[in-house]
């Protein structure tokens, strides 16, 4: 995959399919630590131990439309290609956490990509889910919590076009301030 944001989108769709109503997406970039860390954590249906052991294998999926599930194996691959690590933990009835790290200056490390568009498309299609996004860089931290947005907007849905275009600009501006996703 060309950009890590596409991996994030894919992994977050797993959380949505798992029935989560709260999804946390965290990105941490550290130039001093030469490290990028990404975590997606949900409160969806979870997976049992046996399934979890097989889930990084590209031939495991519960979907019937396509025989091969690739979201998890591809994310694992992009981390390992970039000198990083990958872990996934899950508990039935509680949820799942997917963690990937990347050596920042590794030649095969994909760019982070467009997190503004990624977040807007996730929020647009899933107004009922609470998304909490935390993006940390050496310059600072940006946190977006859709519960706080709902509280500010009252009855206006986040899926309203005017809200979405404001949100897109707001996220981009805040990421710009901390130079998030630039590397
Ligand atoms: N967050 C999650 N919660 C519960 N089950 C999950 C989660 N992520 C993945 N799974 C299970 O692992 C399978 C493989 O996921 P993935 O590699 O993304 O392939 P795909 O989504 O195409 O099936 C999914 O079909 C699903 O059964
Ligand atoms: Mg998937």
CA of 13 to the centre of ligand 1 (A): 9
Class of domain 4-177: alpha beta
Contact 72, 98 (CB under 8 A): yes
Q: Is 43 a pocket residue for ligand 1 (Cβ < 6 Å)?
A: no
Neighbours of 130 (CB within 10 A): 17
Please give the average per-residue pLDDT across 131-156, as a whole number: 97
> Could you tell me the distance, in angstroms and rounded to a whole number, from the CA of residue 67 to the centre of ligand 2?
12
The alpha helices in 18-114, defined as continuous H runs, are 49-54, 71-81
pLDDT by residue (tens digit) across 41-100? Answer: 999 999 999 889 888 876 666 665 544 568 898 999 999 999 999 999 999 999 999 999
For residue 96, the Cα-to-chain-centroid distance in whole angstroms is 12
Pocket test for ligand 1, best of 7, 8, 13, 14 (most atoms within 8 A of CB): 14
**Mind listing the pLDDT tens digit for each residue in 32-49?**
999 999 999 999 999 999
Provide the pLDDT for residue 133. 98
Identify the nearest ligand to the CA of 94 by its number: 1
**Is residue 174's pLDDT more than 80?**
yes
pTM (predicted TM-score) = 0.94
Neighbours of 53 (CB within 10 A): 12
- How remote is the CA of residue 156 from the centroid of ligand 1, in Å? 32
In degrees, rounded to 5, the angle at the alpha carbon of residue 73 between the alpha carbons of residues 109 and 123 is 80
What tokens were used for 114? Answer: 């467009």
The verdict on the CB of residue 25 being under 6 Å from ligand 1 is no
């Amino acid at each position: 995959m060309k950009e890590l944001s596409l991996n994030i989108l894919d992994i977050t769709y797993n959380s949505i399919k798992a029935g989560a109503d709260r999804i946390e997406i965290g990105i941490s970039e550290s130039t001093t630590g030469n490290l990028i860390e990404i975590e997606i954590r949900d409160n969806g249906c979870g997976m049992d131990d046996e399934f979890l052991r097989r889930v990084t294998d590209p031939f495991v999926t519960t979907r019937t439309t396509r025989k091969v599930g690739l979201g998890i194996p591809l994310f694992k691959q992009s981390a390992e290609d970039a000198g990083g690590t990958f872990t996934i933990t899950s508990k039935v009835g509680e949820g799942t956490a997917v963690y990937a790290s990347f050596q920042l200056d590794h030649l095969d490390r994909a760019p982070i990509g467009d997190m503004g568009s990624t977040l807007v498309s996730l929020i647009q299609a899933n107004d009922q889910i609470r998304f909490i996004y935390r993006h940390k860089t050496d310059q600072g931290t940006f946190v977006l919590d859709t519960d706080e947005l709902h509280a500010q907007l009252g009855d206006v849905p986040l899926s309203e076009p005017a809200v979405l275009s404001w949100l897109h600009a707001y996220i981009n501006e805040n990421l710009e301030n901390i130079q998030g996703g630039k590397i």
